[in-house]
């Protein structure tokens, strides 16, 4: 059966709800691993209400707010089962969750992450920005190997039995002030940016998602 990617858009949703729905898709792919006629993979686009998420090996001290301060800022906190450290999700950010069977795609996890980064790098090219990788860190950066290094897209994944979940968080029109209350991805000496900040204008999020769809299909189909 020809592989296919089904794109879903869950809109603005609570993080816990999106996590549960991802788990359902994850279980679906696990159940169909031995089904040769099932070669469907899922990409979910969504945005979240303000939330800080911490990866399974992350350090809680990288969150600089207590529970009362979180509530004051209208944010919540979750420790998740993805890789990576702490990051922020909120309105204006395009989140992409990838529920892929890497075995059926014949991809290793490192190559998969590389391809995710390629998707974002090519997306940034459309807007005249040069995204690059930073040695020893996943995600996509601007001016990566300089004192002005700033992350525009975080990547954190879970993979079990070669099936993935979670994915990337691309800052489009994100309120970057929320990043002042964490050490993003565990870094204390690097900044965070967005398309809006770099381009000095609001960027149409639907356009970004449409461009991402095309790049994802180029990389994985």
The dihedral sign for the CA sequence 123, 44, 191, 219:
negative
Angular region, 139: left φ>0, alpha ψ -120 to 50, beta rest: left
User: From the candidates 44, 75, 185, 192, which is the catalytic residue?
Assistant: 185
Chain center to CA of 125: 18
Is residue 153 part of the annotated active site? The answer reads: no
Domains and CATH numbers, the chain: 4-220 (3.30.930.10)
- Give the pLDDT score at 129: 98
Q: Would you give per-residue pLDDT tens digits along the chain (221 residues)?
A: 789 999 999 999 999 999 999 999 999 999 999 999 999 999 999 999 999 999 998 999 999 999 999 999 999 999 999 999 999 999 999 999 999 999 999 999 999 999 999 999 999 999 999 999 999 889 999 999 899 999 999 999 999 999 999 999 999 999 999 999 999 777 767 899 999 999 999 999 999 999 999 999 999 99
């Amino acid at each position: 059966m020809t592989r296919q990617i089904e794109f879903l858009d869950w809109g603005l949703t609570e993080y816990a709800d999106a996590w549960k729905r991802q788990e359902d898709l994850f279980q679906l792919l696990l159940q169909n691993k031995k089904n040769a006629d099932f070669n469907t993979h899922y990409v979910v686009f969504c945005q979240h209400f303000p939330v800080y998420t911490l990866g399974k090996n992350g350090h809680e001290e990288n969150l600089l707010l207590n529970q009362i301060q979180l509530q004051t800022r209208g944010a919540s906190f979750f420790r998740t089962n993805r890789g990576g450290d702490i990051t922020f999700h909120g309105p204006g950010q395009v989140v992409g969750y990838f529920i892929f069977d890497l075995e059926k795609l014949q991809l290793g996890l490192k190559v998969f992450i590389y391809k995710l980064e390629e998707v974002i790098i090519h997306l940034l090219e459309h807007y005249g920005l040069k995204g690059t990788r930073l040695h020893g860190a996943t995600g996509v950066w601007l001016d990566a190997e300089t004192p002005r290094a700033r992350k525009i897209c975080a990547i954190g994944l879970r993979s079990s039995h070669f099936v993935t979940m979670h994915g990337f968080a691309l800052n489009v029109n994100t309120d970057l002030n929320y990043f002042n209350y964490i050490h993003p991805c565990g870094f204390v000496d690097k900044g965070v940016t967005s398309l809006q900040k770099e381009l000095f204008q609001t960027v149409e999020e639907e356009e970004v998602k449409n461009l991402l769809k095309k790049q994802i299909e180029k990389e994985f189909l």
